[in-house]
Amino acid sequence: MLLGLGLSAVCAVGALVAAAGVVAMAFPGRPRPWATRLLCRAAATAAWAAAAVYSLGLFSVLASEQAFGDGADSIPAPACRDGFDAGTRQGLSHHRSSYLPLRFDCVRDDGSVYSSDPDYVWMNRASASLALTAALLAVGAGHASGVRARKKTAVVS
């Protein structure tokens, strides 16, 4: 669990450093071509943020999976029992976990399912949105540098 928080913190620091690079583009003396570098730095910020959010959820699922079957009173999974009323836990038979998308679902005897933690929904959405944003910004940076190169060759010839 400590490793997960550490990895998430490292990714968050990476996102903050990359965000500082984006903000630095507003100051005089910025490198040329500034638009391409701004897009690259923004893409790095989004990628680090996506990694931070995903690693939080990943290590949460890993911790829930590890707690299952680890000592007395660990079956069914503590994540499926802790914090839920007796009616919700009634008939609990097993769990299903997934790392992509992040989830740790608790399954009852009748086949009905409930999530052990509703935070997985926002973690999945945030990490997917940030990863898509990073990819689009990286493509935009590549396109901007290609347009710049085409303009340069058109001026020379």
Q: What pLDDT score was predicted for residue 73? A: 64
Q: What pLDDT score was predicted for residue 134? A: 95
Give the span between the Cα atoms of 135 and 55, in whole angstroms.
18
Confidence of residue 131 (pLDDT cuts 50, 70, 90): very high
Give the span between the Cα atoms of 98 and 101, in whole angstroms.
6
Domain definitions of the chain by residue range? 2-156
Please return the burial class of 15, using the count of CB atoms within 10 Å of its CB with bins 0-12, 13-18 and 19+.
buried
Mean local confidence (pLDDT), 24-48: 80
Q: What pLDDT score was predicted for residue 55? A: 92
Mean local confidence (pLDDT), 138-154: 76
Q: Model pTM? A: 0.78
Beta strands in the chain (DSSP E): 92-99, 102-108, 113-115
Q: How far is CA 101 from CA 35, 61, 95, in A?
A: 34, 11, 15
Query: Given a cut of 80, is residue 98 above it in pLDDT?
Result: yes
Query: Given a cut of 80, is residue 88 above it in pLDDT?
Result: no
Percent of all residues in the chain with a pLDDT value above 90, rounded to a whole number = 20
Mean local confidence (pLDDT), 78-89: 81
